[in-house]
Structure 1
Amino acid sequence: MTTPTLITVAPTGAESAKTEVPALPVTLDELLLTAKECEALGAAVIHVHIRDEGSRPTLDPGRLRATVAALRESTDLIVQLSTGGAVTDPEADRLAVLDAGPEMASCTMGTVNFGDGVFLNRWEFIVDLHTRMQERNILPEYEIFDLGQLTALQRLLGKYGLPAGGHVHVDLVMGVPGGMPGTAEALVACRQAIRDLPAGTTFSATGIGRSTIPVMLAALATDGHLRVGMEDTISYAKGRPVESNMQLVARAVGLAHVAQRPPASTGQARELLGLSSRSAA
């Protein structure tokens, strides 16, 4: 059978400023509209960062809970919260993200230079995040910025056990300055390493900036899934700013159809990831 393509939209992120990227969804109303539009096109997961009233990145617990509740009420998307936040966010605030009760949350598997900053992920913090998600029945998406982080994930799972539900899902974040390049060769190397993880492990791939299209094509050719959105790229093509997250999701959907791997519905996505149905959640 053809494996459907899980499409994740990451609409906002913590890096771009609203003043520089006017189309960036930063209010709750903008995020909800984006979520509905992208779900209608074929997205099944939404990777969420939130902003405060001044459009600055925030991990405010009340705003996070309200965002999760609103997305659940308005869509059937799998809500995945970022525990990365901005690179300056303290560990305690990042751990508290789980209190908002998402179905999924990110778990970055190591420290990486992130442009001019450092995205710090100590081993003790990774273990704490992983075990808290086990206790709360939240599915991690293990974020991989470099090949060695897949080895770190193998160590984590071997020592502390599988996620709740037993399914392992990773996201290859490719093309970040300081991380692995966004190339087909790098993706294939990661694909080989993923084979050493538990049977049934799935992966998505994210191409930052100009690596978006090469990474999408390589992922589709190797049974991978896709993450797109304005968190990862604000240019649709050279000299063409992204007008909305819908543009990026629509392109991913089109390529998935070309690859004869049409987008997974939200129900298929939950089955693929081993998540319980919405009615049982």
Structure 2
Amino acid sequence: MNKTPLIVTVAPNGAYKTKEQHPQVPLTAVELAQTAKQCLDAGAAMIHMHIRKADGSHLLDAHGYKEATQAVRKAVGHELVVQITSEAAQVYTPHVQMQVVRDTQPEAVSIGLREIVRPEVPEADVADFFSWLARNQVMTQVILYDAADVQTWQDLRARDVIGEAPWFLLFVLGRYSAGQVSAPTDLLPFLQVHDNAYPWAMCAFGPQEHACATAAAALGGHVRVGFENNLYLKSGKLAPDNAALVRQVAEAAECLVQPLATADQVRQLFTV
């Protein structure tokens, strides 16, 4: 059994989910703060946070991130790690994405590797950005969508384009599967090529999210769940809120006799 504390991250809104899809999708700073408190109480140690424009569309903006972070901190103090996203969502260019992160100077950030490592981005710019993240001790989760992404990441590391730091990997299961629905077996291609140099977590799409999370926990990984990618409980019923999805993972961890990580334990793991 795995005794390493399990890091449970909640991704409560994403770039696209709407109130029409579920009334409990948090879109404002106030709603994010309320969701953060509920998910902390359910067992989360980290919140993966998107912010939105007034019309509900995706936004990357330093001022907006700082405002939302302040609201979450008011609700939960430092009992959750606050992770912002740099997701392009087909709107932002790589250099804008990187600049927003620099301007925000967040505690933690997620970076989609294939959104930054692009033909129009000089490799020196990629190196400089990751070096900046490391120097400023921004807890960085690198998002990888398939085994080829894992190999690209390992190649960049081997060539020292991306230097040493306490990086955190996120394996996205089922991003390119039929109907974008994940299954626990989607973990296998990632694990076959992963060199175990850094801790990893997974996120999954659709109603098997909980099964994927449980498999990841049993195999030594960490988990990210929430309305960003899934609205359903393991029973197939619509989840009442994000906290219900977190609570299911906490119950699975108890079955695995695995403690849940606190925010401070996450900080210790990913801070030099």
For the aligned pair, the TM-score class normalised by the smaller chain equals 0.7 to 0.9
1:188: Cα distance to partner?
A: 2.8
Structure 2 gap ranges (5+): none
Letter paired with 1:172: F
SS of the counterpart of 1:107?
Answer: strand
- Distance in 1 (CA, whole Å) between partners of 2:191 and 2:42 is 28
2:122 aligned with 1:88? no
The residue correspondences of 1:227-266 to structure 2 (distance < 5 A) are: 227-237=224-234, 240-266=237-263
Distance 1:239 1:218 in 2: 18
> 2: CA distance between counterparts of 1:209 and 1:40?
24
Match of 1:224 in 2: 221
Instruction: Establish whether residue 9 from structure 1 lines up as the match of residue 10 from structure 2.
Output: yes
1:24 alignment counterpart: 25
Correspondence 1:102 to 2:106 = yes
Q: In structure 2, what is the equivalent of residue 145 of structure 1?
A: 145
Aligned pairs for 1:62-81 within 5 A: 62-75=63-76, 76=78, 77-81=80-84
Alpha carbons 1:18, 1:55 under 8 Å: kept: no
**CA 1:216–1:256 in structure 2 vs 1: closer, same or farther (change >3 Å)?**
same
Counterpart AA for 2:63: G
Contact 2:27 2:52 in 1 (8 A): yes
Letter of the 1:92 counterpart: H
**What do the CA deviations read for 1:103-128 (whole angstroms, capped 9, x no partner)?**
211121226xxxxxxxx851637545
The offset of 1:266, in angstroms, is 1.4
Do the aligned residues in 1 keep the contact of 2:203 with 2:213 (CA within 8 Å)?
Answer: yes
Q: Which moved more, 1:144-153 or 1:48-57?
A: 48-57
205, 209, 212: which one aligns with 1:208: 205
- SS of the aligned residue for 1:63 comes to helix
2: CA distance, partners of 1:235 / 1:181: 12
2:23 aligned counterpart, secondary structure: coil
Give the counterpart letter for 2:112 in structure 1: T
Where does residue 193 of structure 2 map in the other structure?
193
- 1:78 Cα deviation (Å)? 0.8
1:190 Cα offset (Å): 1.5
State the shift of 1:192 in Å.
Answer: 3.2
Alignment CA distance shift 1:4-1:161 (3 Å) = same
> What is the deviation of 1:23?
1.3
Offset at residue 213 of structure 1 (A): 2.4
Equivalent residue, structure 2, for 1:117: none
Gaps of 5+ in 1: 112-119, 277-281
Pairwise CA RMSD:
2.4
After TM superposition, the score normalised by the length of structure 1 is 0.84
Secondary structure at the counterpart of residue 8 of structure 1: strand
Equivalent residue letter for 1:260: V
Secondary structure (helix, strand or coil) at the match of 1:236 reads coil
Cα distance 1:232–1:126, how it changes in 2: closer, same or farther (>3 A)?
Answer: farther
Q: Is the 8 A contact 1:107 1:129 kept in 2?
A: no
**Equivalent residues in 2 for 1:91-130 (5 A)?**
91-98=94-101, 99-110=103-114, 122=118, 124=121, 126-127=126-127, 129-130=129-130
The offset of 1:139, in angstroms, is: 2.1
- The alpha-carbon deviation at position 209 of structure 1 amounts to 0.9
Q: Distance in 1 between matches of 2:117 and 2:231?
A: 26
2:223 maps to a residue whose letter is: L
